Each structure stands twice: as structure tokens, then as C-alpha cells.
Amino acid sequence: MLKSARKKEKDPEGRMPLSEHLRELRNRLLKSVLAICVITIIAMFYYMDIAKFLMRPVLDAVGCGGVSFSDLSKGSAGGKGHDCAYFTVNGLLSPFTIMLKVSFTTGLVVATPVWLYQLWAFLAPGLHRNEKKYGLFFVGLGVPLFVGGAYFAYLILPTSAKVLIGFTPEGANNLLPLDDFLDLLARMVVVFGLAFELPLLLILLNFTGILSGRRMLGWWRAMIMGITVFGAIATPSTDPIGMFALAGPVVLLYFGAVGVALLNDRRRTRRREADPDFGLSDDEASQLDLTPEAVAAPGARPELTDGDDPGPARRNGYDDVT
């Protein structure tokens, strides 16, 4: 009985007190963290394969081709040294922390559908019924965008490493701590993944009627500048290649979102012209047709026959009630 008393009927408009909002946020966060933790634990069993997968592109780009560090120190590597890099692990606990970092990064990326859905589920109660239908669109497009941004960071990191390694002075050897490299890769994956979600956010704002495509297009100068500055600040490697590698695709995605918004505005305009009540939410009144209609002229009064009630007496065409 206590359990049934706690379960109150939900407000159809999504209204709830602050304590309920905080409890809802806590539950959504717990579900997201639980999904990430479960996948992180599973990834620990495949830690070696995942670590090789993360290291291979950088080793192919700037690796020393299987040359040992002792050969580099002796100078017998055939000229290799200042233009190649060698991963190192420092400290007794470093292998364990590296395993945790690799597993957590894997859990964060693989659990993207779960925490994106939890984010949408937390925001959905405050939306109108005609806006909640975009939930599947949000999750369905948000997952490939985040994963695409993460994979793009994985692809450009070897190019950034090759350019940065090229500044090594002659006679010096490059030793890359593996834990620092994984920290850099994890930050780039998160930053690129979230940056690729920008067009999705703009499209949702347009589909819900908050932001028009024409206004989004008018912001193109400020958006390009803002995206470039964001790429310079948010890119962990702080090199121009990483900055422009992040800013370029996001700018293209921004203009793609503007194109989708303009097409949606045009479609919405056509439907509103055909149906004035199109797009109204449940708590909005539809338009009333106040056009006056012609009233037919009153017919002649029928002739009375014997026995019919003549009705009340009329004076000047009106009876006493009128």
C-alpha cells in the first residue's frame, strides 16, 4: 500500500517539484554511470587488444619500426632517433592505471546510446507532445555523430604526432609515456565527440520552433570564429593541425544543419498555409473562423385557419416578449 501511495500519477505536462527533478536527475545519472561501468568491466578482459588498437596508428606514423631503445641509445638505428618515437611505461602502478584508462575510454564510447537516451529522457517531460517524437531522432543521430567524432580524433592523432615529432632536435630521442598518450587520446575522443553533436542540437532547436534556419544562417561569421576558437582551446594537443582538424568538420556540419533547418522551415510554412492549426501544441487554442455568414431572409408568416392560436398580439411587427 505504501508502494502504491508513492507512485503518483504523472503530470501530463511534465510538471514536478524541485525534489522530483533532482531525484529524476540522480536516477538518470546512475543508469548512465552503471552502463559505463558495466562496459568498462567487460573491456578490461580485452585490454591488450584495445591498447594495441589505440597505439597502432601512432606507431605506424612515428614508430621506430621495431627498433629497441637500446639500439636508439647506441645510435645503431640507421638514422632513426630524432624522427621516431618509442612508447614507455613508467612506474610500478602505471600498467594498472593504463588498463583503467583504456577500459574507461572504451566504456564511455560504447555506452553512448545509453547515456544519450538518459539525457533525452530527462529533458523529454518538459516538452510538448509534438516535440517528444524527436527522441528517437536525437538518439539515432546522436550516437553515430559522437562515435564519428571519436573515430575522427583517432584518425588525425597520428598526423598530429608526426608533425610534432618532426620538431625534435637532432641527436634527441622521443620517449612517449603511454599513460600521457592515453590521457591525450581520451580527451580528444570526448572533445571531438561532443563537438560533432553541435549540428544535432541546432536541428533540434529548429524542429521544436525555437530557432529558425534564417537566423542560424545569419550567425555564420560568429559561428565560424567561435568554432575555430573552441578548436584551439578544446584540442588537448594544442597544435594547429588538431585545431583545424576539429574546426573544419564542425563548420561543415554546422552548414549542413543550417540547410536542414531551412528545408524544415520551408516545409513548415507550406503546411501552415494549408492548415492554420499545424504545429499547435495541446495547450494552444486553434484559430477561430470569424468570417460572417449570410443569413437567409425570414419567410412569410403562414395564413391562420380556424382553430389556430393567433399567438401574442404584435405591435409594429413585434410581440410583447420582444
Q: What is the per-residue pLDDT across 231-257, written as a single tens digit (0 to 9) for each?
A: 777 666 566 776 777 788 888 888 988
Residue 74 has pLDDT above 70, yes or no: no
| Helix, strand or coil, per DSSP, at residue 314 | strand
Residue 314 has pLDDT above 80, yes or no: no
Instruction: Show the domain range for 235.
Output: 18-274
Query: Which of 315, 153, 151, 145 is CA-nearest to residue 245?
Result: 153
> What pLDDT score was predicted for residue 2?
43
In this structure, is residue 163 part of a structural domain?
Answer: yes
> What pLDDT score was predicted for residue 291?
67
Confidence of residue 4 (pLDDT cuts 50, 70, 90): very low
Average pLDDT score over residue span 163-182:
80
In this structure, is residue 30 part of a structural domain?
Answer: yes
**175 neighbors 63 (Cβ within 8 angstroms):** no
Strand partners, 85: 63, 174
Q: Which pTM was predicted?
A: 0.65
Q: DSSP label at 168?
A: P
**What whole-number distance in Å separates Cα of residue 319 and Cα of residue 202?**
68
Going from the C-alpha of 287 to that of each of 133, 270, 275, 294, the distances in angstroms are 24, 17, 10, 21
> What pLDDT score was predicted for residue 30?
92
**Comparison of pLDDT for 85 and 302, the residue scoring more:** 85
How is residue 80 written as a grid cell? 632513426
Which stretch, 142-146, 159-163, 309-313, 318-322, has highest mean pLDDT? 142-146
What is the residue-averaged pLDDT of the chain? 75
In this structure, is residue 75 part of a structural domain?
Answer: yes
Residue 293 has pLDDT above 80, yes or no: no
Evaluate the CA torsion angle 202, 264, 269, 134 in order and state its sign. negative
174 phi/psi in degrees, rounded to 5:
-100, 115
In this structure, is residue 289 part of a structural domain?
Answer: no
**What whole-number distance in Å separates Cα of residue 89 and Cα of residue 98?**
9
Which stretch, 122-136, 236-250, 259-273, 279-293, has highest mean pLDDT? 259-273
Distance of CA 227 to the CA centre of its chain: 16
> What pLDDT score was predicted for residue 5?
45
**Comparison of pLDDT for 159 and 261, the residue scoring more:** 261
**What whole-number distance in Å separates Cα of residue 192 and Cα of residue 243?**
11
In this structure, is residue 319 part of a structural domain?
Answer: no
In this structure, is residue 60 part of a structural domain?
Answer: yes
Number of domains in the chain: 1
Percent of the chain with pLDDT over 70: 66
Average pLDDT score over residue span 221-240:
77
Q: In sequence order, which ranges of the chain are alpha helices (DSSP H)?
A: 2-6, 18-44, 47-62, 69-74, 94-110, 112-123, 129-132, 135-165, 178-195, 198-207, 213-218, 220-234, 240-274
In this structure, is residue 121 part of a structural domain?
Answer: yes
Exposed, middle or buried by CB within 10 Å (0-12, 13-18, 19+), for 145?
Answer: buried
**What whole-number distance in Å separates Cα of residue 95 and Cα of residue 86?**
16
In this structure, is residue 171 part of a structural domain?
Answer: yes
* pLDDT per position as a tens digit, 31-68: 999 999 999 999 999 988 988 888 888 888 777 765 55
**What whole-number distance in Å separates Cα of residue 190 and Cα of residue 105?**
9
Residue 156 has pLDDT above 90, yes or no: no
Q: Please, what is the end-to-end C-alpha distance for the chain in angstroms? A: 64
Going from the C-alpha of 56 to that of each of 48, 51, 81, 149, 237, the distances in angstroms are 12, 8, 19, 19, 18
Distance of CA 18 to the CA centre of its chain: 25
Lowest mean pLDDT segment, chosen from 1-15, 78-92, 119-133? 1-15
**Comparison of pLDDT for 140 and 101, the residue scoring more:** 101
> What pLDDT score was predicted for residue 68?
55
> What pLDDT score was predicted for residue 299?
57
> What pLDDT score was predicted for residue 143?
83
Residue 175 has pLDDT above 90, yes or no: no
Average pLDDT score over residue span 284-300:
61
**234 neighbors 195 (Cβ within 8 angstroms):** yes
Average pLDDT score over residue span 210-226:
86
